Structures are given as structure tokens and as C-alpha cells.
Copies of this chain bind each other. A is one copy, B any other.
Amino acid sequence: MTKVDRRILKSQEAIKTALITLMGEKHLDDITIQDISDRANVNRGTIYLHYLDKYDLLDKLIGEHMDRLRELCESSCRLEWTEATLVFCEYFDTQYSFFSLMLASKGAPYFRNRFLDFLIEEFRCELDVTRGKNLGIKEEVLVRFTASAYVGVVEWWFMNEKPFSYRELAEQLGALLERNL
């Protein structure tokens, strides 16, 4: 990873936080590129230097969060699901405003799918259907089943404004994962 010009990092950072705060105020469709550049205090053209359009911007923004979750996953892949889930839920908690915004906003389905795909990918490489409790169950089915369940619970947790701590969430989810994977 070669060193990136700080101007690029600063511009992108400003643009991304501008989009996030704007999404807290109105729907993505009602946000113009001008709105974003104004809020980011950046020339309108600068946005096009880094992103195709606002959807690409949101896409990359979500992608970065998924990447960070993936990193967390890799750095704790030796752990059991219970502990790995704790690491995840801790991240959810620290990024609460972002995730709840993503799940609550109009763009929710898009984010949901990105998150689902991410989990499917992660679960797949940690799985073994050739023995044990899952003998006879198709990998594709098991993975989809579990990932959907996972997303559903996380989504519910955010939509209900953290009805309990992220530690409890992790405990419950962890137990259910152990049972199924």
C-alpha cells in the first residue's frame, strides 16, 4: 500500500462525511452533487474526480465498512463464532450512527444486500458440510439461511435503537451461530 497524497484523503473524507450527514437530513434521491460539494466545502468537479456519481460514492462508502469488517474477521478468524461475533458487534456499536442510518434510510435494501453478500462470503469459507451436524445439508442453503438470519437480527437491533447492549447481542447471535454452522 503506497502512500496516498493527503489531498486525496482529505477530499474523500470530507465528501464521505458530507454524504453521511446529508443522508441524515433527506433521502439520497433528494441529495444533489451540489449539496454534497457544498457541505464538504469542495468543488463540485472534485467529487467527479473520485466517484462516478452519488450512488458510486455510497457504494464505496459501504464497501469500506465491509472491508473493515472483513479485516476484523481475518484478524480474529481463529476465534470461535461467539468471540468473532463480539468483535463484529463492537464495531456495529462504534459505528452505530452510520449503520442505523444505512438501515433506516431509503437506501436500506441496497445496504442490506451488500451486508448479506458479505456475510454469505464469510460464512462460506468457514463452513464444513461434509461432517458433523450439517451433514447432508447443501452449503448454499445453509449459508443463505444463516446469513439471512444474522442480518435480520442485526437489522432489528438497529431499528429498535439498541434494545440491549452489543455484548448481549453478540452472545445471543454467537450461540445461534454455533448451533447452525
Interface set of A (CB-CB < 8 Å, partner B): 6, 10, 41-43
Contact = CB atoms under 8 A, between A and B. Distances in A.
Contacts of A41: 6, 10
4 contacts: A6-B41, A6-B42, A6-B43, A10-B41
A39 to B, nearest CB: 13
A6 B10 CA distance: 14
The prevalent SS among residues of A at the interface is loop
A95 B52 CA distance: 41
A34 to B, nearest CB: 14
Contacts of A42: 6
A42 to B, nearest CB: 8
Q: Which 4 A-B pairs have the closest CB atoms?
A: A6-B41, A10-B41, A6-B43, A6-B42
Contacts of A43: 6
A18 to B, nearest CB: 14
Contacts of A10: 41
A13 to B, nearest CB: 10
A41 B43 CA distance: 19
